[in-house]
Amino acid sequence: MSATITFLIVNIVGGSAVLGGYLICLYLLLPDQRETLWGSVQGLWKPVFVVSMLIAAAGYLAFSYVILFKSNPMEFSSRFLDTKHAVSIICMIFLISAATWMPATITYLKTSNSIWWIIGVTSLWITVISLFAATTVVMAFPLAIPSAFYRMLAISGISYITFHCLVFDAIIWVSRFHIPLRN
C-alpha cells in the first residue's frame, strides 16, 4: 500500500476514534462529565484552552495536508527509519494515545481506580512524545517536502499541536486536575 494511502487511512480511522470518543463521551453518553473533565481549569483558562485546541487542530490539519499532497514519503526513510511509512506509524501512535485519554479519565472519575488516572496521564505523555517525533522527522528530512513554504507550514502546524499537548494537556491540565489518587 502506498505511503499516502496508509497515512490517509491512519488519519481517517484514528481521527474518527479521537473525535468520536469526544462526541460519544461528552455529548451522548456522559454529558454530566463535561465540567468534571476540566478539573480545576476555570475562568479565563477555559477559553485559552479552547482557542489553543482549535489552533492545534488546524495545525494538525495543515501538517496532514502537506504530508498527503506536498511531500514525498520515500524521502522520510533513512538508516534509522527504514520505511516509507514512518510518518504514518508515528501519527498512528499519536492518534491511539490521544483517543485513550478521554475514556481512561472518565473511567477514573467513575471508579476512583488510580490505574485509570495513570493510563490517562501516560496517554497524554505518549501523545506528546509521538508529536515530538513527528516534528523531528519533518524537520530532519527537508527533501521530503521540497517546497520551503509547505515545509514551514507542516513544521509550524505539527509544532503547535506538540506545544499544545505538552503545555496545556500534559503539564497544566494534569497539574490542575486535583483529584487525589485513592487506590
Give the pLDDT confidence of 97-146 residue by residue, as tens digits.
Answer: 999 999 999 889 889 899 999 999 999 999 999 999 999 999 988 888 99
| 12 band by pLDDT with thresholds 50, 70 and 90 | very high
**Which residue's entry shows cell 517546497?**
147
160 part of a folded domain:
yes
CB atoms within 10 A of CB 42: 10
Q: What was the pLDDT predicted at 60?
A: 98
Q: Which domain holds residue 167?
A: 3-177
182 part of a folded domain:
no
Greater pLDDT, 88 or 177: 88
105 part of a folded domain:
yes
Q: What was the pLDDT predicted at 110?
A: 86
| 76 band by pLDDT with thresholds 50, 70 and 90 | confident
What mean pLDDT is reported for the chain? 89
123 part of a folded domain:
yes
- Residue 148, all three cell numbers: 520551503
Please report, as a single letter, which amino acid is at residue 42: Q
Structural domain tally of the chain? 1
pLDDT in tens, 111-122: 989 999 999 999
Q: What mean pLDDT comes out for the span 151-167?
A: 98
Q: What was the pLDDT predicted at 183?
A: 47
Q: What mean pLDDT comes out for the span 50-65?
A: 97
183 part of a folded domain:
no
Q: What mean pLDDT comes out for the span 12-16?
A: 96
Check if the beta carbon of residue 57 is closer than 8 Å to that of residue 94.
Answer: no
pLDDT in tens, 15-50: 999 999 888 888 887 788 778 888 888 889 899 999
Question: Distance (Å, rounded) from C-alpha 153 to C-alpha 163?
Answer: 15
Which is it for the CA torsion 156, 169, 137, 77, positive or negative?
Answer: negative
- Residue 62, all three cell numbers: 495543515
Is pTM beyond 0.85 here? Answer: yes
